[in-house]
A = this chain, B = another copy of it.
C-alpha cells in the first residue's frame, strides 16, 4: 500500500460517494502500522488516501464526519524537547540537549482510555493521562495542480495538529479538484495545545468516517462543528495571520448560512468569540475560531 507525504492530485485508492462511511487505518507519523511495523518511510506524516468522492467538483464543500478515531496499538511515542520556536530565543541555549533518537514511550490502555509514560523516567513518578484521540493531518488536494507536504497546512487542511479534531466532529473542506481527494493521517492518542514538543503521542489509528457532499457550497477555509460549537480554522504564520483567516471565515459563515448582517455578527463575535490554538510548530501555525451554538439563530 502506498502512503503519500504530500496532499495532491494523486491516483485515488478508493472512490466513494456522498453518504458513504469508510473504515480505514492510518500509520503513525513515523510510518509504523498497528503492529508497530515500519510499512512506509516515516518522519513526515505518511497519509492514507486519497479518497475520491464522486461528483465532488471545485466550488463544492466536502464534509467529513469522524464517527470513530481510536489508536490501533498500545505503544505511542512523543518527542521530549520543546521546539525552539515556542520559547524565548534566549532560552534556546538552556534547553536540554536534543537527541534525535530519544523519544518518550507511552503505554496506551485502549479500553480504559489512558496513556502511561513508560520511558524515560521523569520526576513526576507514574504519569497517566486520559486519551483524547485526534487526527493531526487531514484534508483535500490543493488547487492549481499543487502537491503540498503533509508537514504543513493551508486552506485545504493538512497538518493542523488541533486537538479538537476528535470523534464526533464534522470538518468541512473546500473542494479544489474533481473528487476532492481526501487524505488522513498523523493520529495522536493525545496532544497538548500547540504541539509544542513537535509531536503528540504518535500512534497508528483505526478511523471510521462518513462523507457528505455539499454541492455548490463554497467555503474559503476549513470549517467544523461539534455538539457545542461551530469552528473555523486558519493556517498561516504568524499566529496573528492564522487568527485573521479564521475570524474572517467565521464572519462569512455567519453571513452566508445564518443570514446575519455584518453589524450583528461583529457585535456577537466581539463579546462571544472563543479561540483555540492549533499547532505552533509546523511551517504554518493553526488558529481555531469558535462560536457556541446556543448563540446561533436557526439556519436560513
Q: Which B residues are CB-close (under 8 A) to A83?
A: 89
Convert A238-274 into 0s and 1s, putting 1 for each residue whose CB lies closer than 8 angstroms to a CB of B: 1111011101100100000001111110111111111
| A97 closest partner in B (C-beta) | B93
A78 interface residue, CB < 8 Å from B? yes
Instruction: Verify A277–B277 contact, CB threshold 8 A.
Output: yes
A40 CB to nearest B CB, Å: 13
Q: Across the interface, do B247 and A87 meet the contact criterion of CB distance under 8 Å?
A: yes
- Interface range on chain A (Cβ under 8 Å from partner): 35 or more
Q: Bound complex: CA of A105 vs CA of B155, how far in Å?
A: 33
Chain A 59-99, CB-CB to B under 8 Å as 1, else 0, gives 00000000000000000001111111111111111111010
Closest CB in chain B relative to A163 CB, distance in Å: 9
Residues on B with beta carbons closer than 8 Å to the beta carbon of A6:
144-146
The answer on a CB contact under 8 Å between A5 and B123 is no
Residues of B within 8 A of A238 (CB): 237-240
On whether A122 and B267 interact (CB within 8 A), knowing A146-B149, A196-B247, the answer reads yes
| Copies of this chain assembled into the complex | 4
With a cutoff of 8 Å between Cβ atoms, the chain B residues found around residue A78 in the complex are 267, 270-271
Known A82-B266, A129-B271: A123·B277 in contact at CB below 8 Å = no
List of B residues within 8 angstroms of A251 by Cβ: 82, 87, 91
- Asked whether A200 is an interface residue with its Cβ less than 8 Å from the other chain, the reply is yes
Residues in B neighbouring A275, C-beta threshold 8 A = 193-194, 277
Decide if B259 touches A80 in the complex (CB within 8 Å): no
A168 at the interface (CB under 8 A from B): no
Known contacts A197-B269, A197-B270, A240-B238; A263 and B145 CB within 8 A of each other: no
Which partner residue on chain B sits nearest A44 by CB separation?
B144
Q: 10 pairs across A/B with beta carbons < 8 Å?
A: A80-B263, A87-B248, A88-B248, A123-B260, A129-B271, A192-B274, A193-B273, A195-B270, A199-B270, A240-B280
Q: Which residues of A are in contact with B by a Cβ distance under 8 Å? A: 4-6, 8, 44, 78-96, 98, 104, 117, 120, 122-125, 127, 129, 144-149, 190-201, 236-241, 243-245, 247-248, 251, 259-264, 266-275, 277, 280, 285, 295, 297
| Known contacts A6-B145, A192-B274, then 14 further A-B pairs from the complex at CB < 8 Å, ordered by chain A residue | A4-B145, A78-B270, A78-B271, A84-B89, A88-B245, A96-B262, A122-B263, A129-B272, A192-B273, A193-B273, A196-B270, A201-B271, A240-B285, A277-B277
